[in-house]
Amino acid sequence: MEMTDIAAAPRIVLTGFEPFDQDRINPSWEVARALDGAQIAGGVVHALQLPCVFGAAVETLHQGLVQWQPSLVVCLGLAGGRASIMPERVAINMDDARIPDNAGHQPIDVPVVRDAPAAYFSTLPIKAMVRQMREAGVPAAVSNTAGTFVCNHVFYALMHRLARRAGPGVRGGFIHVPALPQQAAQQAGMPSMGLEVQVLGIRAALHAAMTVQHDVHETAGQLH
Ligand code: PCA
């Protein structure tokens, strides 16, 4: 068996958020933690937890990128109410918080980065990721909005950084995951997905991001 030289292997930074909005768990971190150290398509996953705080989340992410110098950066977040794992297509330059973050801040209608572009597209192969997740038996669809809370904030800051500083080889983007069954059990009617299925899906998505150079062109949206 051929052994991967771990030290020389490309690094994948996979972030998840701490719990927020009075929740005790955040599936995005549980998934990232479960995949920490995993080898996927020759890359090694480094999990990093981000605070659910405007500004501080970006600082923590930037420290991780400096430390690990990854070739792939995928940030995860919870989107309660969604039934599928959803790679996000676009990050917008807008903070507009519906609720305060974990530090009590609630920015309204302010840019993530002043005098910067209105939006960035993900540089992940989002449709190939959806295809490979579906082939693995995991509900998945492309999303066209990451919202305007801390998830979009981190996503925008990541894409702004990659567009300006990193070499053209570094790919990055954001994926929203559904609530866990134990979270949905508190709110009648909320869709959910078990942790093992989420981990299977994100593993497939990372595999696609590591192996697919040019995205496929096919419909990959929600059924409704
Ligand atoms: N979801 C929130 C922030 C942290 C998280 O996991 C969001 O969608 O913005």
Q: For ligand 1, atom 9, name the residue with the nearest CA.
A: 151
Mean pLDDT of the chain: 95
Gap from CA of 78 to ligand 1 centroid (Å)? 5
Tell me if 210 sits within 8 A of 70, measured CB to CB: no
The pLDDT of residue 19 = 98
Give helix 150-164 / helix 56-68 axis angle, nearest 10°: 40
Mean pLDDT of 203-211: 98
Ligand 1 site, residue 44, Cβ cutoff 6 A: no
- Its sign, for the CA torsion 56, 90, 34, 40, is negative
DSSP-derived pairing of the beta strands 72-78 and 119-121: unpaired
- By most ligand atoms within 8 Å of CB, the mutation choice from 14, 15, 17 for ligand 1 is 17
Q: Give the least confident one: 70-74, 113-117, 165-169, 203-207.
A: 165-169
The three-state secondary structure class of 33 is helix
Mean pLDDT of 82-104: 98
Mean pLDDT of 194-198: 98
- Residue 43's H or E segment, with its range, is strand 43-50
151 as an active site residue: the answer is yes
Look at phi and psi of residue 134 and say left if phi exceeds 0, alpha if psi is from -120 to 50, else beta: alpha
- In the chain, the amino acid numbered 11 is R
Tell me if 77 sits within 8 A of 28, measured CB to CB: yes
Q: What distance in Å separates the CA atoms of residue 69 and residue 80, rounded to the nearest whole number?
A: 31
The pLDDT of residue 1 = 43
Ligand 1 site, residue 150, Cβ cutoff 6 A: yes
Angstrom distances, CA of residue 141 to CA of 24, 61, 81, 125, 153: 27, 25, 14, 12, 21
Would the pLDDT of 52 be above 60?
A: yes
Would the pLDDT of 166 be above 70?
A: no
Q: What is the pTM of this model?
A: 0.96
In this predicted model, what pLDDT tens digit does every residue of 8-33 receive, in sequence order?
A: 899 999 999 999 999 999 999 999 99
